Structure 1
Amino acid sequence: MIEALISGKLQGQASEKMAKTGKSFVTAKVRVHAGDTDVFVNVIAFSESACTALLALDSGDAVALAGSLTPKTWTDREGTVRPALDLVASQVLTAYHVARKRKAVEPRAHEQSRHQQANQASRRDDLDDGCPLEF
């Protein structure tokens, strides 16, 4: 297996299925641009967070996935052998996740910025004796 990070667009809707053991999982197909052509990646997810993220997407939505990748081939109706990839997704990142993470980081960044400004001001105050400079 290959640990991979892929990004592409969801083809069709992701679908939730039930295993014989009663555990649910989600399958999806992602179109990934690879050089001069597109490759379809068959995705399966078992973790609750990855399943939820895939089910929230619509066909055509951009998505990035991380997980174990297995290269395969398939033969089309004309007999042409084509590449295929199977990915067991452990992590799913969507535009929604990016926006949410940016919002979570922004307050910290503003806080750090204010803290740095306060430190710089206090450093300047330590050096200021209140007398004007004379040349």
Structure 2
Amino acid sequence: MIDALIAGRIYGQVEERSGQNGSVYVTCKVRAATDDGDFIICNVIAFNDATRNTLLGLGDGDSLSLSGALTPKVWTDKQGKARPALDLIAHAVITAHLNTAE
């Protein structure tokens, strides 16, 4: 894993889920720009209460920055082309979005 800081926008909806042992976590996707003008999707999971609550206050298209443990991966699309993917276990989040719950 890589200690990373990524910035981008929420892509789709933020979802809260529960594990088999009762642990609560949040998942979402972040669309981050690359240096060549393309975008990459980062799959995010958060277990920390503050990070989870902040992410739950965000919606599709909201800007944010996340730090955490990043794992790069590769997947193959329907045309057989290798595509990059990122998985991030988020430890902290920064956003300009105001959370009305706080």
Gaps (5+ residues) in structure 2? none
* Residues matched between the structures, number: 97
Q: Distance in 2 between matches of 1:43 and 1:87?
A: 5
**For the pair shown, which has the larger CA radius of gyration, 1 or 2?**
1
| 1:113 alignment counterpart | none
Match of 1:15 in 2: 15
Percent of aligned pairs sharing the same letter: 47
Q: Which residue of 2 aligns with 1:25?
A: 25
Between structures 1 and 2, the one with greater helix share = 1
Task: Please tell me whether residue 94 in structure 1 is matched to residue 64 in structure 2.
Answer: no
**Which residue of structure 2 lines up, in the alignment, with residue 53 of structure 1?**
54
Normalised TM-score (structure 2): 0.92
Q: Distance in 1 between matches of 2:91 and 2:68?
A: 5
- Kindly state the Cα deviation for residue 32 of structure 1 after the two structures are TM-superposed: 0.4
Higher relative contact order (CA 8 A, sep 6+): 2
* 1:1-135 map, 5 Å: 1-36=1-36, 37-96=38-97
Is contact 1:13–1:55 with CA below 8 Å preserved after alignment?
no
Calculate the TM-score normalised by the size of structure 1.
0.70
- Which protein has the bigger strand share? 2
Runs of 4+ with >3 A deviation: none
In the alignment, what sits opposite 1:104? none
